[in-house]
Structures are given as structure tokens and as C-alpha cells.
Amino acid sequence: MDQVSLTLRFAPELRFFLPPRNRVDRVRVQHDATSTLGHVIESLGVPRTEIGRLRADGTEVTAAHRPADGQTIEIDAPARPQHTPFDRTRFLLDVHLGTLARRLRLLGVDTAYDNDRDDDALVVQANDEQRVLLTRDRGLLRRRGLLAGAHVHHTDPELQLHEVLRRFDPPLAPFTRCLACNGMVEPATKQQVQGDLEAGTRATYDTFTRCRSCGRVYWPGAHHDRLAQIVDRAREHI
């Protein structure tokens, strides 16, 4: 089978995905002449969701391009902020990103999360609901048919949050979503929610909201300042 020799130049932020021996300025590879450029790049470890603009000998091409022998390919990371193929930016997070899910909901970002979904179910849900799938699992991002996804590089939830906000720049509406179920919250009177409150809470607080979906009640308790600080730091880093 015919082979082509290529020189690949990955943007520095993409070299994380490559084997250590390939984390250099120029990667020289031989590949099947019938393979698309997207396949060549993925075979080196970079998921298609992480590929931005592509150029072959300086000419912009797509992932479907079949490179010719001797070409130099430049691979950029996705542009920031990154556009999605959907009308609005919504997310689905895998089982390992529960804290990030709650922080995105705190900011009012539409974020689906369930701690018992397997990989196949995640891909189906992401596509059906037109959500960007966020994960640290590179293999999940390489699933065929996934419409939109992104790798989360950091392990610290606050850094993860800032990473996602900088990459996608979703509109923020803090304290408008339920941290537990992602439903929208609305103002509620003390009388409307008093059956869900402990006596101390009823005696101390007068301002409440309640989730339209699951009925969970929120009030500006001792935890509110910590949550407000998360919101403020997130806005500073966008």
C-alpha cells in the first residue's frame, strides 16, 4: 500500500496529547496515502474535537483533506472563543466532572450531568440535546458520530471552570439554575416554601428561590458568600 511522508507542526497547546517523543516542533510521519488528514492527526493522539484550523503547505484545508507526499501540515488549536455547531452553547459533563457541573450551573450555564451514564449514553445524549460533551477522557472524544466535545485539561475544579469559560464564552446568569438538577429557579415567598424549611431557617431568612423542576429551595445562607466569590473569580478570568 502506498505511503506518504508528512511533516506535522502542532500548536504548542496540542502537544500535550502527543506521545512524549513527538512533543517537538516538527513531527515526521509516514501514513497510508488514502487516509484523511483528520485520521492521521487522530492516530497520533489528538482528538478531532481539539483540532482547529489546518493548513497544508500554507493553504487552508479541512480534516477530510488527503495530504500529498512531502506536505507540511500545520495544526492549530480551536479558536477562542470557540463556536459550536449548535444554536446555543450548552454542556454535558461526564461522571468525573461533578464539581465543575455544579459550578457551571451556579453561573447559570445550561449543564447536564448524571453520575451513572456510560460512554455510549453520553454520546447519544450530547447529540440528541445538542450539547458540547466535556470530559478528560480522550477516548470518549474520539467516538465516531460525536458532534461536539472538548477536553478538560485541568484537575482543579476552579481551573476547569475558567478553562471552559475562556474556551466557549457562554452567557452567564448567576444564581438562576438549580445546582442539583439544572432546572431554572424562581423567587418564592416564605409562605410558599415554609414546609421545606428548618425552624432556624424560617426564623433567620426571608429571601428564597425554588427550582421549578425539582422543588429544591435556596436562600442566602452562610454558604452564599463562598458561592459569590466563585462567581466573582469566574467573571474576572473570562
Rounded distance, CA 220 to CA 212, Å? Answer: 18
Rounded distance, CA 102 to CA 109, Å? Answer: 10
Q: Which residue has the cell 448567576?
A: 174
Q: For residue 195, give the DSSP letter.
A: G
Per DSSP (E only), the strands in the chain are 3-10, 27-32, 54-56, 59-61, 72-75, 91-93, 111-113, 132-135, 149-151, 185-188, 208-211, 217-218
Q: What cell does 199 get?
A: 425552624
Rounded distance, CA 170 to CA 100, Å? Answer: 14
pTM (2 d.p.): 0.92
Dihedral over alpha carbons 186, 190, 196, 198 (to 10 degrees): 130
Per-position DSSP letters for 10-59, written without gaps between them: E-GGGGGGS-GGG-SS-EEEEEETTS-HHHHHHHTT--GGG---EEETTE
Sign of CA dihedral 40, 45, 26, 155: positive
- List per-block mean pLDDT (blocks of 10 residues) for the chain, which spans 238 residues: 90 96 94 92 96 97 95 96 95 97 98 93 97 96 95 97 96 96 96 91 93 95 90 85
Q: For residue 237, give the DSSP letter.
A: T
Q: Which residue has the cell 488527503?
A: 66
Cα–chain-centroid distance for residue 85?
14
Angle, in degrees to the nearest 10, between helices 157-168 and 224-236: 40
Q: Are 16 and 45 in contact (CB under 8 A)?
A: no
